[in-house]
Amino acid sequence: MKASVDNKLIPILEFHDVTCGNGYDDDKDGKNLKKCVDYWCTPNLVSLCNEYEKYLIVNVANEWGPTNSGWRDGYKKAITAMRAAGIKNTILIDAGGCGQNPATLINYAQELLDFDPEKNILFAIHFYGVWMTKEKSKASWQFYVEDYLQMFKTKKLPVIVGEFGWTGAPDNFTLYDPKKIISECNQHGIGWLFWAWNSQTDETYYNIVANYTKGFSTDNDLTEHGKYIVNQFRENAKEAKSFTITSSGNPELEVGQTFLLYPNPLNLGTLNIDYRNTGKEKISQIRINNSHGCMVKKIEINDEMPYQLQLHDIPSGAYFVQFISDAGNFSSKLIIMN
């Protein structure tokens, strides 16, 4: 997780345990959604989600759910349980029908978004066997990529393409033009994820890198379609707003405006705090965040406010001291030269 954030990548955690399941509490194949939800709500995972709340996307369960209202009802239970457990991260929900059925999103996505007290839901559609692009005629049971991407945009649904492969996959899984999927997504401003960086050595149609053990140093380490995809990253990728300090919603205070941190730069490890007129009795927590927005130290405030912080253990660099209070969250920049 830390490596992803340090490299300014938004991580997505998910479980494959209930792929293509249908029941919430019970499922004939044992693929009930509740087992994933219960695991998300364990103290260790809740703590992990809290620590990386600004970055981590929580994909409840890979490709779970029926194609009817049971999908909606199951995820309402999931949202209720996870929010009650204290998980405020963006929740990613795959479409029903093994992640591939667009009707579940068209019919129920907005209802789930409105149901979420955090209003922080993202949906994913996966493009495999039931999908086609318009250079070919589709069967009656298939869907055109172009039509539904446009529909998602028209309905203003927060949808990403969570998976697709390249041509050549068995069982008629990838009969579409994958370059058309990418171009349509780019045109509509819809995010997309290819499956996968590396899947299996004999599944080149799902791999970006040609040899996982060798990794990626130059374009010669990529499959042919991997070269195309990586070039798309180069041309279109943008830094996520989560990594922009000012995007956090916490106004940065000028030194001396409401509190004073000194010495700044800090070179002896002991930071002094002058709270001035901040209403310090309302401050419940102080966090030290690095320049990527990742928390490196947390101080819980009980009865007595600290007027000094011992930061000897924090490496040299640029940081933000964040004050969490009932009146709002505020931060000020601190340079450490330990």
Dump pLDDT digits (tens) for 200-235: 888 999 999 998 888 888 999 999 999 999 999 999
Give residue 97's pLDDT.
97
Mean pLDDT of 239-267: 61
Give the residue numbers spanning the domain of 109.
2-243
Among 195, 225, 243, where does a domain finish? Answer: 243
Confidence of residue 168 (pLDDT cuts 50, 70, 90): very high
Give residue 258's pLDDT.
56
How many Å apart are CA 127 and CA 94, to the nearest integer?
11
For residues 193 and 251, state if they share a domain: no
Give the number of other CB atoms < 10 A from CB of residue 16: 11
pLDDT surpasses 90 at 241: no
How many Å apart are CA 334 and CA 269, to the nearest integer?
12
Give residue 279's pLDDT.
53
CATH of the domain at 328: 2.60.40.3080
pLDDT surpasses 90 at 245: no
Confidence of residue 244 (pLDDT cuts 50, 70, 90): low
For residues 233 and 249, state if they share a domain: no
**pTM summary value:** 0.74
Among 243, 278, 310, where does a domain finish? Answer: 243
Confidence of residue 276 (pLDDT cuts 50, 70, 90): low
Mean pLDDT of 226-247: 81
For residues 268 and 218, state if they share a domain: no
Answer yes or no: are the C-beta atoms of 338 and 312 closer than 8 Å.
yes
Which of residues 252 and 165 earns the better pLDDT score?
A: 165
Residue type for position 186: N
How many Å apart are CA 162 and CA 195, to the nearest integer?
8
For residues 161 and 96, state if they share a domain: yes
Give residue 277's pLDDT.
55
For residue 106, the surrounding DSSP H or E stretch is helix 102-115
For residues 239 and 251, state if they share a domain: no
pLDDT surpasses 90 at 48: yes
For residues 166 and 262, state if they share a domain: no
Mean pLDDT of 18-22: 97
Give residue 249's pLDDT.
38
Mean pLDDT of 176-205: 94
Give residue 40's pLDDT.
97
Give residue 260's pLDDT.
78
Among 243, 268, 283, where does a domain finish? Answer: 243
**How does the average pLDDT of the chain come out, rounded?**
89
pLDDT surpasses 60 at 250: no
Residue pLDDT, tens place only, 113-146:
999 999 999 999 999 999 999 999 999 999 999 9
Which of residues 234 and 245 earns the better pLDDT score?
A: 234
Give residue 331's pLDDT.
80
pLDDT surpasses 60 at 299: yes
Tokens at 9, concatenated: 């990548």
Give residue 254's pLDDT.
41
For residues 238 and 299, state if they share a domain: no
Give the number of other CB atoms < 10 A from CB of residue 202: 8
For residues 213 and 276, state if they share a domain: no
For residues 129 and 30, state if they share a domain: yes
Give residue 205's pLDDT.
95
For residues 162 and 262, state if they share a domain: no
Pick from 152, 11, 157, 149: nearest CA to 90: 11
> How many domains is the chain partitioned into structurally?
2
For residue 332, the surrounding DSSP H or E stretch is strand 328-336
For residues 225 and 318, state if they share a domain: no
- Specify the DSSP class assigned to residue 41: T
Pick from 325, 317, 278: nearest CA to 301: 325
The CA R_g of the chain, rounded to the nearest whole Å, is 23
